[in-house]
């Protein structure tokens, strides 16, 4: 029996009613990938308020590697609810925060003493990583990358690359932020080709120190090991190690933003492990707590201890319910070996997507790492003109046929898979089947309406 069950036209009447209340009550700046309102969810399945059942390939934007309502997470949260909800770690500390810090110190790459601070969101953790790096190095500048996404707060928005909708109209931005090209080989900023390029983009960091900002002014390079919102771009194997080597040479800290890549998604607990790099600071969030808000900065102890007492923290950072959920989520990830499940899901997706790309030139690129997989859509195979409209059509078709799928990419022309890693093979294939029909339908209607573009 299929998992997807659609009982009403979409969106259903109750979702429609909620949407009109939402439009009256909530700021329009918060976007929605689908117009359906959630009622309940389990594993990789989401049911809306009208009783329609969807397969969820978005996982709350990569927050549900252990699945919706993982039993261990729910039990740990229940237990914590019966104990206490909040004391503020800065007022009356509690053991779960310490246990989680110890866990992250041991799980993150690097065989040296580490320390951790817990916060609420990915952006807040990136902000803190930058504060810590500046405090340790006594240097102001931060280098980040084209197509990067690090959040929506003032500093993280400044580190983020995409202008619309993230930056336009929100200036002025934070100063001392410098941007260089990422190894986005499909759209190389230098029009070079890998491997002949010798990862020129990574080596070009040296040139940046001559032309843009002096190396002795740079506190840190902030990098996503695989671009998330930027379109699931997995750089060539040596890109990150070259960046790391240059950073070390100039005593610049390397901050890995593993907010989206972390906790098993890429086939290892952290994507840095896949690339054999050891960042000075690693930022994690999203899937850390099985769906509860929590984030962390983990790094070399002497760096983490640079800011003075009271310089770091926040009212809710590392709240006990989220800590309990995170300890349970990490236990599940490890016990159920969800990293290797991610690898298998990625291979399964890749096989299907590569076959589709042979059939439909709309698919310009198939890429990713582990279960962090995506397809980039283009209007013609040679030209690489981004096919944003077609991407939206594919997503709409999927949602209308019971698959929740979201886009990514600076040009809005990438569909990305962030399915909970606990999805069953049957559910995963059912979801992929919907994607396949979506592609067939969009390509067909495109040929009907604009044959000259086909
Ligand atoms: C790589 C990366 N960094 C930071 C963030 C910001 O996280 P948050 O939305 O929790 O502030 C995101 C969110 O998508 C992200 O993908």
SS3 257: strand
The closest alpha carbon to 100, from 84, 118, 119, 79, belongs to 118
Which helix or strand (DSSP H or E) is residue 342 part of? helix 338-359
The closest residue, in CA terms, to atom 16 on ligand 1 is 260
Which atom of ligand 1 is least distant from the CA of 227? 1
- DSSP code, position 377: E
What tens-digit pLDDT sequence spans the chain (454 residues)? 899 999 999 999 999 999 999 999 999 999 999 999 999 999 999 999 999 999 999 999 999 999 999 999 999 999 999 999 999 999 999 999 999 999 999 999 999 999 999 999 999 999 999 999 999 999 999 999 999 999 999 999 999 999 999 999 999 999 999 999 999 999 999 999 999 999 999 999 999 999 999 999 999 999 999 999 999 999 999 999 999 999 999 999 999 999 999 999 999 999 999 999 999 999 999 999 999 999 999 999 999 999 999 999 999 999 999 999 999 999 999 999 999 999 999 999 999 999 999 999 999 999 999 999 999 999 987 789 999 999 999 999 999 999 999 999 999 999 999 999 999 999 999 999 999 999 999 999 887 766 444 4
* Cβ-proximal residues to 118 (8 Å cutoff; 6+ apart), any chain: 89, 97, 100, 101, 294, 295, 296, 317, 318, 322, 323
Q: How far does residue 123's CA lie from ligand 1's centre (Å)?
A: 6
pLDDT at 381: 74
Return the structure tokens found at 304: 């983490």
pLDDT at 450: 60
pLDDT at 453: 44
Tokens 């389990």 locate to 42
172 CB-contact burial (10 Å; exposed 0-12 / middle 13-18 / buried 19+): exposed
Q: Which of 124, 228, 279, 374 to mutate for ligand 1's pocket (most ligand atoms within 8 Å of CB)?
A: 228
CA 159 to chain centre: 15
pLDDT at 452: 47
SS3 331: helix
Q: How far does residue 347's CA lie from ligand 1's centre (Å)?
A: 25
Which atom of ligand 1 is least distant from the CA of 151? 6
The closest residue, in CA terms, to atom 13 on ligand 1 is 151
Q: How far does residue 299's CA lie from ligand 1's centre (Å)?
A: 19
Give the other-Cβ count within 10 Å of 29's Cβ.
7
pLDDT at 454: 40
Distances (CA, A) of 340 to 230, 305, 319, 371: 25, 34, 30, 9
Distances (CA, A) of 212 to 143, 266, 427, 434: 10, 33, 50, 47
- 243: β partners: none
Sheet arrangement for strand 114-119: 114-119, 295-300, 281-284, 253-257, 218-223, 141-145, 177-180
Ligand 1 binding residues, C-beta < 6 A: 61, 121-123, 126, 149-151, 224, 228-229, 257, 259-260, 285
Q: How far does residue 151's CA lie from ligand 1's centre (Å)?
A: 5
Give the other-Cβ count within 10 Å of 88's Cβ.
15
Q: Which of 33, 161, 286, 414 to mutate for ligand 1's pocket (most ligand atoms within 8 Å of CB)?
A: 286
Q: How far does residue 8's CA lie from ligand 1's centre (Å)?
A: 34
Q: How far does residue 427's CA lie from ligand 1's centre (Å)?
A: 27
Residues 387, 413: contact at Cβ < 8 Å?
Answer: yes
Which atom of ligand 1 is least distant from the CA of 295? 10
Instruction: Tell me how far apart the alpha carbons of residues 86 and 93 are, in angstroms, rounded to a whole number.
Output: 10
Which atom of ligand 1 is least distant from the CA of 286? 10
SS3 136: helix
Instruction: Tell me how far apart the alpha carbons of residues 198 and 201 are, in angstroms, rounded to a whole number.
Output: 9
Instruction: Tell me how far apart the alpha carbons of residues 66 and 218 are, in angstroms, rounded to a whole number.
Output: 37
Q: How far does residue 376's CA lie from ligand 1's centre (Å)?
A: 21
* Cβ-proximal residues to 219 (8 Å cutoff; 6+ apart), any chain: 130, 133, 134, 136, 137, 139, 140, 141, 142, 252, 253
Q: Which of 150, 270, 282, 374 to mutate for ligand 1's pocket (most ligand atoms within 8 Å of CB)?
A: 150
SS3 54: strand
The closest alpha carbon to 395, from 15, 32, 42, belongs to 32
Which atom of ligand 1 is least distant from the CA of 258? 1
The closest residue, in CA terms, to atom 4 on ligand 1 is 150
Q: Which of 123, 222, 271 to mutate for ligand 1's pocket (most ligand atoms within 8 Å of CB)?
A: 123
* Cβ-proximal residues to 198 (8 Å cutoff; 6+ apart), any chain: none
Q: Which of 120, 285, 293, 409 to mutate for ligand 1's pocket (most ligand atoms within 8 Å of CB)?
A: 285
pLDDT at 179: 98
Long-range pairs of 363-367 with CB within 8 A, sequence gap ≥ 24 = 363/439, 364/186, 365/186, 367/186, 367/232, 367/233, 367/234
Return the structure tokens found at 44: 């990789």
Maximum pairwise Cα distance, the chain: 68
């Amino acid at each position: 029996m299929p998992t997807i069950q659609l009982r009403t036209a979409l969106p259903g009447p109750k979702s429609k009613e909620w949407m009109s209340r939402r439009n009256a009550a909530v700021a329009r700046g918060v976007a929605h990938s689908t117009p359906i309102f959630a009622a309940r969810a389990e594993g990789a399945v989401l049911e809306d308020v009208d009783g329609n059942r969807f397969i969820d390939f978005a996982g709350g934007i990569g927050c549900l590697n252990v699945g919706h309502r993982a039993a261990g997470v729910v039990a740990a949260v229940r237990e914590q609810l019966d104990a206490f909800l909040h004391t503020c770690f800065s007022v009356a500390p509690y053991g779960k925060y310490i246990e989680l810090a110890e866990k992250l110190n041991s799980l993150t790459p690097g065989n040296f003493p580490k320390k951790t601070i817990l916060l609420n969101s990915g952006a807040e953790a990136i902000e803190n990583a930058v504060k810590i790096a500046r405090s340790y190095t006594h240097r102001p500048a931060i280098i980040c990358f084209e197509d990067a996404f690090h959040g929506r707060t003032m500093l993280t928005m400044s580190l983020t690359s995409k202008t619309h909708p993230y930056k336009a109209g929100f200036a002025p931005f934070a100063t001392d932020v410098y941007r260089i090209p990422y190894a986005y080989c499909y759209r190389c900023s230098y029009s070079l080709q890998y491997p002949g390029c010798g990862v020129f983009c990574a080596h070009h960091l040296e040139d940046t120190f001559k032309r843009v900002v002096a190396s002795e002014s740079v506190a840190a390079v902030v990098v996503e090991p695989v671009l998330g919102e930027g379109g699931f771009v997995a750089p060539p194997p040596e890109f990150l190690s070259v960046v790391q080597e240059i950073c070390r040479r100039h005593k610049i800290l390397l901050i890995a933003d593993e907010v989206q890549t972390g906790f098993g998604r890429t086939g290892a607990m952290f994507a840095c492990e896949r690339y054999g790099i050891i960042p000075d600071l690693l930022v994690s969030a999203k899937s850390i707590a099985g769906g509860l808000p929590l984030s962390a900065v983990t790094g070399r102890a002497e760096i983490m201890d640079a800011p003075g007492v009271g310089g770091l923290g926040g009212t809710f950072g590392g709240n006990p319910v989220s800590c309990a959920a995170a300890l349970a989520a990490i236990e599940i990830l490890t016990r159920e070996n969800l990293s290797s499940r991610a690898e298998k899901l990625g291979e399964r997706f890749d096989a299907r997507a590569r076959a589709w790309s042979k059939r439909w030139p709309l698919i310009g690129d198939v890429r990713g790492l582990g279960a962090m997989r995506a397809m980039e859509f283009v209007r013609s195979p040679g030209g690489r003109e981004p096919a944003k409209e077609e991407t939206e059509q594919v997503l709409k078709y999927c949602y209308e046929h019971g698959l929740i799928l979201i886009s990514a990419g600076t040009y809005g022309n990438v569909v990305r898979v962030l399915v909970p890693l606990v999805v069953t093979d049957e559910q995963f294939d059912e979801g992929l089947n919907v994607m396949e029909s979506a592609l067939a339908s969009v390509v067909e209607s495109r040929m009907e309406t604009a044959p000259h573009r086909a």
